[in-house]
Each structure stands twice: as structure tokens, then as C-alpha cells.
Structure 1
Amino acid sequence: MNKRILLGIDTSISPQTQGALGAVSTFMEQAAPEFHVVLLGVIPVPYMTSPSLGMYVGHLLPMSITPEQRSQAEDDLRRARTELQKAGVSAEQIEVLIRVGIPAEEIVKVAKELQVTFIVVGSHGNALRQKIRRFFAGSTSRRVLQLAPCPVMIVSTPNTPRPADLVTWYLEAITVYLQQHADVLM
């Protein structure tokens, strides 16, 4: 039986997902015959509470997804599949799944159902904005790590430059631009 890697794909193929795709591509170059990649797109479903329907406050009702959400998920998975194929992973080694629900929970459910060898997810890093979001909403990658029945590889993207570094970069870029276009500006 072939081993499987479960790769969580988020909407719009974020830089974090691109990093995870790159990590899986690199891994597949070395272990290609043994492994299949399962690309999982989870459409996050908004939930609502409704005491008017005879339910206690806090009981969650899933709201339905739109055709646009489904289409977006299909497009994202198609793009991810294409990226893996460009990196040399054969089409026969790639499976595609779409689920609806809470991303971390669906990733773990699929990992259990398919008995995957390991899970790969991207991480949004430690920027202040992400720390604040994580404080209120939690982290998908951290939740997957806590609940997963198998090893989890969390791929993070490099930190963006600090503001002081950006000022230096802009000064250099402006200087180069002015030097290259000095004859036009005079």
C-alpha cells in the first residue's frame, strides 16, 4: 500500500501554502515512488447561534456554502495540483479532496480516515497581527498539531523585513532608480 502525505491547501494559495507545496515537492523528489499526496481544501463554514430555533445560546448551526466558495476551492486545488506536477510529481500520485467545516478538524478527520503517514500545513508566522489573530481565533496549524494522529510538518515562511530594514531597502531602491533614470529627470 502506498504511503500518503496530507497537504492542507488554504484559499487563494497563500504564501504559507506555497511554502508547504514547495516542501512537499522537495520531499517527493526523493521519495516519489512510495508516496501519494492528498491535497485537501477545506471550505470554512460560518456558524451561527439561534436561540429562536429552540436551541441554547452557543449551539452552533452550520450555514451553507455558496457555489462561488466551492468553485474557489476547486480552482485553488487545481492550481496546487498543477504546481506539484510542474515540480515533477505525477498526476497519478495526487489525490484531491474538498471538505466543508472547521479547517483543523477536517484535516485531522481526513488524516484518520485515510491513515496518512504525515500531514503538511503552512503557518502564518509570528507577526504581531498574526499573534493577535491567533489569540482570539486560534491557530489552525497548532490545532492540527494537537489533534493529529500522525506526525505534522508545519512550514513557515521567512519573516518579512522589519520597518528599519524597509527604510534602508527603499533608500537603496530610490537611489538606483534615480541613477538609472537621471537623463530623463534632468
Structure 2
Amino acid sequence: MAEVLSTFLLQPGDPAPNFSLPTPRGEILSLGDVLGANGLLVVFACNHCPYVVHLADALGNFAREIEARGVGTVAIMSNDLEKYPQDAPDKMLEFAREHSWDFPYLVDEDQSVAQAYRAACTPDFFLFDAELKLAYAGQFDDSRPRGSLQPHGGDLGEAVRRMIAGEPPMARPYPSSGCNIKWKPGNEPAWF
């Protein structure tokens, strides 16, 4: 399993790219539908990546904690479904239920949203403030699938705390790491 690092092409203060994407059941949700009073966490995820599986339960708990602080969460699955059927919408529902993801898990079938966010891996985390300006792009924490450290959300938790408190963002956060997004042929972005 090769580790891929996020690209940091979206910079602090950049606006969140808008989207309208379906849930696995076909309901369309937009950026404004998932924004909390104090901000939004956008997570690019999938069902099969060991890095996502490693922190999936912790992410469910983390999302409930930040929801209580006014920060919404949305996960977006952008992988090529033809080559990776284990990430299909029906399996997304099962995965979300298994890991207590109470937040929306959306399908980016044409991969345009992953491209707009300059997402590179799963999981890839983007935290936006109440005005939908990027406050943090980086790792959930320093745990890894084969390591001894359990997922704790420390890096992302500190970013949320700073954002809500109006403090400066973390200096040079460590990028997200995980499996590369599985691009459809011809969709591979220039930064990939």
C-alpha cells in the first residue's frame, strides 16, 4: 500500500468550491446544506482504503463532537466505481452505518468535486470556517493503519479549536496521507 500525501493546492483563506452531489439514495445536497453555523469539514473518503478504515470509527465520533460545536461534516467518495465497485453507493450506506457516520456521504461520480478541491488521497481533510474560507487542510492525526497509535483526531481537533476561537491557523500542518484517489482514465489531474 503506497502512501500518498495531499497536495496543499487549496490555501488557507481560499473559498470552498461549491457542489451539488447525490447521497447513495439519490437526494441532492449542496455545500450550503451541510454547512454548520461555525463551519464545515469536507472529507474525501472511500470504503476500501486502509487509511479510511483505520480512522472511520474515530471520524464518526469526531464529527458528532464538532457538530455539537456548530461544525458540519460531509464525506465525498470520488473513486472510479467501475474499477472499484467496493466503493459503490449501496456499499457506502453499509460502510457509513457500520462506522456510525451520521453525516452525509456523497457520490462524486464524475470526480469534478475532487478536482475542484485538489483532493489527492483518501482520506483528505478540508476544514472551512463559517464563511466557507479554508481554515485547515491536513491530516486527522499522526496514527497510521499499521502503527501502534490509535486514531485520536488531534491535529484536526486543534484546527477546529483554533478556528472556532478565532486564533491563527496551525503553521505548516502535516498533509493528509492515504491511498490516492482512483481517477477515471483521462480525469487524472495535473497535480497527480
TM-score (norm 2): 0.38
For the pair shown, the structure with the greater C-alpha radius of gyration is: 1
Structure ranking higher in helix proportion? 1
Q: Larger relative contact order (C-alpha < 8 A, sep ≥ 6)?
A: 2
TM-score between the two structures when normalised by the length of structure 1: 0.39
